[in-house]
Every structure is written in C-alpha cells, then in structure tokens.
Amino acid sequence: MAGTRTQSLPSPYEPLLDTDPRMPDLTRQGMVKLRLDVPPMFYAGTVPGEEMAAASSGGDDTPPRAVLNRHLVSTVAYTRDASGKASFFSALFKAEAKATQVGVIQEAKTFAVVQTEDGRDVEMGIAVRLQVEASRFSSDVQVSIPNIAAEAQLGLSRAEMEISVRGFAGPLGNLLPVPKAVDLTSYADYIESFRRIQEHVFSDTGRDHYSPVALGLHHLAGAPAG
C-alpha cells in the first residue's frame, strides 16, 4: 500500500526490564522524589525509613509533592542482541529485527515523572504489563504481539508471553492466566486477563495496595538509551 510506513522509529521511552540492575536504585531515588505522605499499605519498597520520613516531613523548603497524575496505555517494541543489550522502538520492522530476539511490551499504567539525582527522568508508578518475546521475526510487517503470536503458531519462531504487575502489593488470585504456548488463541486469552487485572489494579480498592516502583526512563530524541 502506498504511503505505508516501513521505517523503524526509536522510542523516547525505555521500559525497565525485569533483569535491569538499575531498578532498585532508580526506585529508591524515585520514592524520595515522590515525597509520599505515608507509605502505601503493604509497602514493600527499598527506601530507608529515615529518607522516607525526611521526604514526608513537608516544611517550607520542601518542593511540592509529585502525584501519580498520568494515566497511559503504551506499546513499545524492542530487539535484544547476543550480549543481551536491548534497543527500544515506537515502531519496529523486519530490517532492524533481523537475526535478533524481538519483543513487545504493552503497559497500562498510572505514574509521575520525577528527576533523579543525576538528572534522569524516571517514570514512577504502577503498571500492568503484557510482554512477549520471540527468538526471531521474519514477516514483512510491523513487530507486534499478534504478529509474533501468528509466527509462533506457524512454527517460525519460539516465543514466550507473560503478564506482570509492577508497584502493586495486593492479591491477584485467579486473575493471572494459566501459562500456555504462544499462539493467536492464547494471545486472546492473555488480552482478556490483562483487561481484568487492569480493572482490578486501577480500581478504588486497588489504590490501597500501591507501592510505586521505577517503570522506565525518558530520553531526549536521538539520545542513546542505557
């Protein structure tokens, strides 16, 4: 189709992956910047009590408290090279995805953007995340969760899919899906589970269990991630 975009676009947002070693320190700095009045119920963060008390004390010299006033559903694709380094894209196509692991992260989140001690802009908040990662991607279409699921169903790649919840310390019970092989049917099941978990986490009762964590970093256009 004429005018169809086929050029990958780097993402200014870098979601923090589960194995990212920066997460504990970014969460610590972010919690201080949030300046919470009291820790959320079932708080399970890593900020020492003295820092939390100082951040909560108020006072004339205390900057205004940040609040979780941003609400967003976003999708970011990524590639991962042999060394494990990830690169993130707002739109990802075959040329950049060739011969590398590829993945897609879809997030529903409530958050605030705070600046760390070294000047990095960090999203602090709560997120429900659907993530799929495949060993390869060969189709001449945009890398997306349903397209990865379709390739896996055809046996063109090995893929894994998961739902995780960040910054939420409450129970999820039977809301989490049963693990299944990645295909279009399991993708539909996971999307339904994602919807139900999102509804639960961001409900009025869910707020009692918020324990904000670092979700990701913002980068200036053209600036390298990492």
Query: pLDDT tens across 88-134, in order?
Result: 999 888 767 665 789 999 999 999 999 988 889 999 999 999 999 99
> Strands 213-218, 70-80: parallel, antiparallel or unpaired by DSSP?
unpaired
> If you average pLDDT over residues 16-35, what whole number do you get?
89
226 lies in some domain = no
25 lies in some domain = yes
Q: How many residues does the chain have?
A: 226
Q: How many CB atoms lie within 10 A of CB 117?
A: 9
How many percent of the chain have pLDDT more than 90? Answer: 50
> What is the pTM assigned to this prediction?
0.81
Which domain range does residue 181 map to?
9-218
Helix 49-56 / helix 23-34 crossing angle, nearest 10 deg: 30
How many percent of the chain have pLDDT more than 70? Answer: 78
Count of domains observed in the chain: 1
Using CA of residue 31, residue 167, residue 70, residue 77, what is the dihedral sign?
positive
| Helix, strand, coil in percent for the chain, rounding step 5 | 25, 30, 45
87 lies in some domain = yes
**Higher per-residue confidence, 61 vs 209:** 209
199 lies in some domain = yes
Using CA of residue 188, residue 17, residue 197, residue 77, what is the dihedral sign?
negative
> If you average pLDDT over residues 28-47, what whole number do you get?
60
22 lies in some domain = yes
- How is residue 76 written in tokens? 């970011």
Query: pLDDT grade, residue 153 (50/70/90)?
Result: very high
> If you average pLDDT over residues 168-186, what whole number do you get?
91
225 lies in some domain = no
Res. 148: pLDDT tops 90 = yes
Query: What's residue 88's pLDDT?
Result: 93
3 lies in some domain = no
Query: Which residues, 6 or more positions from 2, have their beta carbon under 8 angstroms from its beta carbon?
Result: none
Query: What's residue 220's pLDDT?
Result: 66
Res. 193: pLDDT tops 80 = yes
224 lies in some domain = no
Query: pLDDT grade, residue 6 (50/70/90)?
Result: low
d(CA 160, CA 57): 45
